[in-house]
Amino acid sequence: MTAFRRGDLFFGLLQVYARTTGRLHCELAWSGDGFRWNQIPSHPIFAEPGPPGVWDAGMVLLAESPVEVHNELWFYYGGFQKDHNAQNNPCAIGLLKAERERLVGLRPSGKNPGYVLIRPFNPRGKRLLVNAKITGELRAELRVSNNKTVEGWTLTDCDPVRKSGFAQELTWHGKPLGECGLKELQIRFELRDAELFTFDFEERR
């Protein structure tokens, strides 16, 4: 497995060998500390060989880390025409592209809204930016340690985000997160026909 860092997470490109066919595909893993790794339970394929007969039909071996190009991540890989057990295996370099910081996302499983509650943090002097694909809308509310919402910073007070973007600021009646005046809080996102990939905090401008 090759590994690379994005934000505060390590991502791993796990090479999976199928003994029955000799083919290799790639699955995505992630870790907060580089020692304990997680995967999506259904093990979706991140990069797979091409159909029979094409140049990368046998194996795909990804390079150590992607290259960031504008709003994309470029993953270079070695593609092999035959399986791992074959000799005289023709190979070439291929390229896979993904949208920046959109390797894993959270979205509602049905028509009802979905909710994401993050761990406590200190928001002083911060702006909250979200990377999301939105067809409906995305809102958020602030909560304190007793799991109560903060007056003036509820879902109703939040200015909804209704367009997709890589770094869109969430505000409450026009106020940035850093003006809440709290030393520690949690954020609860509400996703209505929306997919949240990452969120980030920046110093106020």
- pLDDT (mean) for 67-74: 95
Pull the structure tokens for residue 170.
Answer: 């969430």
Domain ranges of the chain: 2-99, 114-203
Per-residue model confidence (pLDDT) at position 203: 79
Per-residue model confidence (pLDDT) at position 186: 95
To the nearest 10°, report the CA torsion of 196, 119, 154, 146: 150
Residue 147 scores a pLDDT above 90: no
- Classify residue 152 as left (phi > 0), alpha (psi -120 to 50) or beta: left
Q: Residue 107's closest CA among 195, 19, 197?
A: 195
Residue 125 scores a pLDDT above 80: no
pTM of the full structure = 0.86
Q: Work out the number of other CB atoms within 10 angstroms of the CB of residue 4.
A: 15
Residue 204 scores a pLDDT above 70: no
Residue 116 scores a pLDDT above 70: yes
CA gap 156, 175 in Å, rounded: 14
Residue 126 scores a pLDDT above 80: yes
Q: Place 7 in a pLDDT band, splitting at 50, 70 and 90.
A: confident
- List all residues 6 or more positions away from 46 whose beta carbon is below 8 Å from its beta carbon: 13, 25, 26, 27, 28
**121 versus 165: which is more confidently predicted?**
165
